[in-house]
Amino acid sequence: MTLLFPESIQNVLVTGGAGFIGGAVIRRLLTNTTATIFNLDKMGYSSDLTSIEKTVESNPNLISHHRLLNVDLCNEDATAQAIKQSNPDLVLHLAAETHVDRSIDGPHEFLKSNITGTYNLLQAVRSHWDQLPEERQKQFRFHHVSTDEVFGSLGLNGQFSEATPYAPRSPYSASKAASDHLVKAWHHTYGLPIVLTNCSNNYGPWQFPEKLIPLVILKALTKEPIPLYGDGSNIRDWLFVEDHVEGLLLAATNGEVGQSYCIGGSGERTNRQVVNTICDLLDKLHPSTNSYSRLIKQVADRPGHDRRYAINPKRINTELGWYPCHKFEVGLEKTVRWYLKNLNWCEKLSVKSCYKGERIGLIK
């Protein structure tokens, strides 16, 4: 798909660019624009630059277009320095702690990164934006990438939209909701030109294997029990990461200042359906003596487990013309094939991050 990206945007600061969604954003920008991409990342447990390194290796001209700034947004001075150094025309804020189960075990990290980190970034960006010449100031955008979890949990009917009141229920979603409020407050109070997107569950290549889809693929391949929380009937609305990237870049460059856009994949599935489909795909692509579905095991539910998320993407469909290209089963097959080819990467990441797929987020 062609990316309509204004040539006037020369410096882009992406926070969390060594993460799953941030990495996909950077790869898209590197291969389809001439902008210089400053990748601000604290290089935490799930940060990894392999996908960007591969993109850069395939075209050495890109080397000078990607600059890593190894900075933790909790460090106010380093954050201010990073903004000065990158002199951005556009900030895409994706840095966040994102795993609900980890937020149950250790909420403080989430409050620090997602709330204080966003506050430090907003302050540094505001002072940068204040000092920009008029033309650059007019076109400047701060794009905040958030989640549908800030809206809480749905029953069997209904969908989240931009008008849904906030009702977060996990330490993670509460911290993201707080960051959304800060971003909106910096717009209303200081006039900072912000755009916000709230997306549904992302999946695709390069996702850290603590999230459902990569975790299930790897558990199946190592013939370990596949943990299905509760009765497996919780529903998520799955969005292929590359479709999300198209939507968020469109919102960042063409969205209305001060507005938020919900981005969903129109891919509602129960967790049991997701897990069964992965097992069926593995039976087809990597057959074993027994079907992988025999490994599925119901385990204790996640504390406070949200029942259902679903997005009504009407605003981004009609106002910006965005639609997802991947039907869930198509995106899932691409993803399973990718993990089968990239088990070495998973192994290396597991060693580097000290995460071996163990259950987390149970209150003892």
Q: How far is the CB of 149 from ligand TDX (least distance, A)?
A: 5
Exactly one of 9, 40, 82, 215 binds ligand TDX (CB under 6 A); that residue is 215
Residues 70-99 that bind ligand TDX (CB under 6 A): 98-99
Task: In whole angstroms, give the CA distance from residue 274 to residue 211.
Answer: 12
Q: CA separation (Å) from 170 to 78, 106, 173, 177, 355?
A: 29, 12, 5, 10, 22
Side chain identity at residue 219, one-letter code? K
Active site residue 306: no
Give φ, ψ of 202 to 5 degrees: -90, 150
Q: What residues from 271 to 290 belong to the interface with ligand TDX (CB under 6 A)?
A: 271
CB of 86 to ligand TDX, least distance (A): 25
Distances from the Cα of 279 to the Cα of 263, 286, 349, 363, angstroms? 27, 10, 23, 29
**Cβ of residue 97: shortest distance to ligand TDX, in angstroms?**
9
In angstroms, rounded to a whole number, what is the distance separating the alpha carbons of residues 172 and 102?
A: 8
197 or 234: CB nearest ligand TDX: 234
Indicate if 261 belongs to the active site.
no
Give the number of other CB atoms < 10 A from CB of residue 297.
11
Stretch that binds ligand TDX, among 71-79, 106-114, 223-231, 278-286 (CB under 6 A): 223-231
- Examine residue 302 and tell whether it contacts ligand TDX (CB under 6 A): yes
* CB-based contact 247:322 (threshold 8 Å): yes
C-beta closer to ligand TDX: residue 89 or 149? 149
C-alpha distance from residue 9 to each of 6, 88, 91, 96 (Å): 6, 8, 10, 24
Distance in angstroms (rounded) separating the CA atoms of residues 18 and 285: 29
DSSP string spanning 221-237? HTT--EEEETTS--EEE
Token pair 């909420």: residue:
107
What is the size of the binding site for ligand TDX (CB under 6 A)? 16
The answer to whether the beta carbons of residues 199 and 248 sit under 8 Å apart is yes
| CB nearer to ligand TDX: pick between 89 and 180 | 180
> Is 217 an interacting residue with respect to ligand TDX (CB under 6 A)?
no
Does the protein bind ligand TDX through residue 345 (CB under 6 A)? no
Active site residue 149: yes
Buried/exposed code over 101-115 (b: 16+ C-beta within 10 A; e: otherwise): bbbbeebebbbebbb
Least distance from C-beta 277 to ligand TDX, angstroms? 13
Of the residues 48, 89, 97, 148, only one is catalytic, namely 148
Out of 178, 212, 252, 310, the only residue in the binding site for ligand TDX (CB under 6 A) is 212
Q: How far is the CB of 212 from ligand TDX (least distance, A)?
A: 4
Nearer to ligand TDX, 128 or 326 (CB): 326
Q: Are 216 and 275 a contacting pair, CB within 8 Å?
A: yes
Per-residue tokens: 111:
């409050």
Site for ligand TDX in 132-151 (CB under 6 A): 147, 149
Active site residue: 48, 89, 172, 333, which one? Answer: 172
Q: Which of 201, 253, 266, 276 binds ligand TDX (CB under 6 A)?
A: 201
Catalytic residue among 149, 180, 268, 306: 149
Residue whose tokens read 């702690």: 97
Known catalytic residues are 148-149, 172
Residues found near ligand TDX in the complex (CB under 6 A): 98-100, 147, 149, 201, 211-212, 215, 227-229, 234, 236, 271, 302
